Amino acid sequence: MTDEIKKGLLGIVVDETTISQVMPEINSLTYRGYAVQDLCEMCSFEEVAYLILNGNLPNGIQLNKFKKEEKENRNITTNMREIIKHIPKKAHPMDVSRTIVSVMGLEDKDTSDNSPKANMRKIMKIFAKTPTAIAAFFRIRKGKKIIKPKKELSFSENFFYMCFGKIPQKEIVKAFDVSLILYAEHSFNVSTFTARTITSSLSDIYSAITGAIASLKGPLHGGANEEVMNMMKKIKTPNKAKSWLIDNLNKKQVVMGFGHRVYKSGDSRVPTMKKYFLKVSKLKKDKNLYKISEIIEKEMIEKKNIHPNLDFPTGPTYHLMGFDTDFFTPIFVIARITGWSAHIIEQYASNKLIRPLSKYKGSDHRKVVLLNQR
């Protein structure tokens, strides 16, 4: 045992995983051995969700069964709808996301059954119902009626439909699907590690995912995609981008959507998402945000040698698709439920209570003095 402190567990390997890895030989994030950019071009989000949860890409029969189950689980209860209707409209949608998964745990009679079979059943419920509940809050807080899910639609089409009442062009749906694939999994990041830590005490899957959502909310993790958009709203036009950035760097402020604990010379997910950001910008005939992002990226690399992470192109892409800024991280939740769930399964299968040590630097031993003598 060593007394050396590794703040933020920097560089510490805490367990093994078979789910994902940044493979240096192809300089890319891989899910179960497949490069994410290949998955984005050749698969749907449902196929990738199946891969992450089950270990292999599905064949046609397996995929149809998976999609059927997902569709059959989309509806939320009347109780859940009533709860969503009564949530304060100003609540942050990430707090709402956290609450709805917690409510699902209250509604499920199998919550405490941690057997592999019950867990797969519960994962399918969380995976299928969370988008429905998030879309319900998206509408309710605008004073609009909740739209029920439609079984004939794909996962991504259905989310657009439940939020906006219509489905955009197929290229926009594809861009959204790609963003979900890229957001689906990334090894032992903060929220996944939170989920694994909660699981390690043999708590239940709803608790682990509720905790993971709480962890994802922070601006140093998933919350960064919202902060990227807030930054772009402040910059407004490409001609102000460079001066804004220099001013920000002079003030020693963190630029959201840049830097990464694992990638120090570029996030392998960014080129794919950037391609779809440009496609969506062209389809929407609005390249303002894309131009701003190009300038910020170039200057950040030149001045600080810090590269953008996935949140940088994703935030403005979601904005162009019509989503409210504070719904960007809940969309990340919808995707990452797959990765969290796979890690929870892995943790249960080979569990060891996660309990690190700390170096004590508080006061020396003291004697307690009674209240009237203090």
In degrees, rounded to 5, the angle at the alpha carbon of residue 326 between the alpha carbons of residues 31 and 96 is 85
Residue 270 within binding range of ligand ACO, rule CB under 6 A: no
CB count, 10 Å around CB of 134? 23
Provide, rounded to whole angstroms, the least separation between the CB of residue 328 and ligand ACO: 11
Q: Is 35 helix (H, G, I), strand (E, B) or coil?
A: strand
> Among residue numbers 4 through 33, which ones bind ligand ACO (CB under 6 A)?
8
Catalytic residue among 177, 267, 311, 326: 311
CB closer to ligand ACO out of 204 and 311: 311
Residue 257 within binding range of ligand ACO, rule CB under 6 A: yes
Provide, rounded to whole angstroms, the least separation between the CB of residue 264 and ligand ACO: 8
Give the x/- contact pattern for ligand ACO in 53-72, rule: CB under 6 A: --------------------
CB closer to ligand ACO out of 22 and 254: 254
CB count, 10 Å around CB of 373? 5
Provide, rounded to whole angstroms, the least separation between the CB of residue 352 and ligand ACO: 26
Provide, rounded to whole angstroms, the least separation between the CB of residue 156 and ligand ACO: 19
**Sequence-ordered list of residues with C-beta below 8 angstroms from that of 264, at least 6 positions apart, any chain:** none
Query: In this chain, which of 255, 273, 320, 335 binds ligand ACO, going by CB under 6 A?
Result: 255
Q: Which span (64-72, 235-243, 302-310, 355-363) binds ligand ACO, by CB under 6 A?
A: 302-310
* Whether the Cβ atoms of residue 340 and residue 191 lie closer than 8 Å to each other: yes
In which region does residue 365 sit, left (phi positive, over 0), alpha (psi from -120 to 50) or beta (all else)?
A: beta
Residue 307 within binding range of ligand ACO, rule CB under 6 A: no
Sheet holding 20-23, edge to edge: 20-23, 28-31, 34-35
**Residue given tokens 């429905």 in the structure block:** 132
What are the distances in angstroms from CA 374 to CA 39, 362, 364, 368, 370? 66, 20, 18, 9, 7
Residue 258 within binding range of ligand ACO, rule CB under 6 A: yes
Residue 259 within binding range of ligand ACO, rule CB under 6 A: yes
Query: In this chain, which of 104, 133, 209, 256 binds ligand ACO, going by CB under 6 A?
Result: 256
Residue 260 within binding range of ligand ACO, rule CB under 6 A: yes
Catalytic residue among 186, 204, 221, 260: 260
Work out the end-to-end distance of the chain between its first and last CA atoms, rounded to an integer number of angstroms: 40
Q: Which span (90-98, 156-164, 256-264, 343-351) binds ligand ACO, by CB under 6 A?
A: 256-264
Residue 310 within binding range of ligand ACO, rule CB under 6 A: yes
CB closer to ligand ACO out of 305 and 372: 305
311 is catalytic: yes
How far apart are the C-alpha atoms of 211 and 362, rounded to whole Å?
A: 29
For residue 38, give the nearest of 175, 174, 178 by alpha carbon: 178
> Among residue numbers 196 through 225, which ones bind ligand ACO (CB under 6 A)?
220-222, 224
For residue 244, give the nearest of 277, 305, 292 by alpha carbon: 292
Instruction: Please provide the DSSP assignment of 143-210 as one string.
Output: TPPP----TTS-HHHHHHHHHHSS---HHHHHHHHHHHHHHS--SS-HHHHHHHHHHHTT--HHHHHH
319 is catalytic: no
Half-sphere CA count of 297, side-chain side, radius 13 A: 19
Provide, rounded to whole angstroms, the least separation between the CB of residue 215 and ligand ACO: 10
Provide, rounded to whole angstroms, the least separation between the CB of residue 8 and ligand ACO: 6
**C-beta nearest to ligand ACO: residue:** 259
Q: Which residues pair with 23 in a beta bridge?
A: 28
Q: Which span (91-99, 145-153, 259-267, 358-366) binds ligand ACO, by CB under 6 A?
A: 259-267
Query: In this chain, which of 232, 306, 321, 342 binds ligand ACO, going by CB under 6 A?
Result: 306
How far apart are the C-alpha atoms of 181 and 67, rounded to whole Å?
A: 16
Two structure tokens written together for 124: 């399918």
Interface with ligand ACO (CB under 6 A), residue total: 18
Residues classed as catalytic? 260, 311
Contact positions vs ligand ACO (CB under 6 A): 8, 220-222, 224, 254-261, 304, 306, 309-311
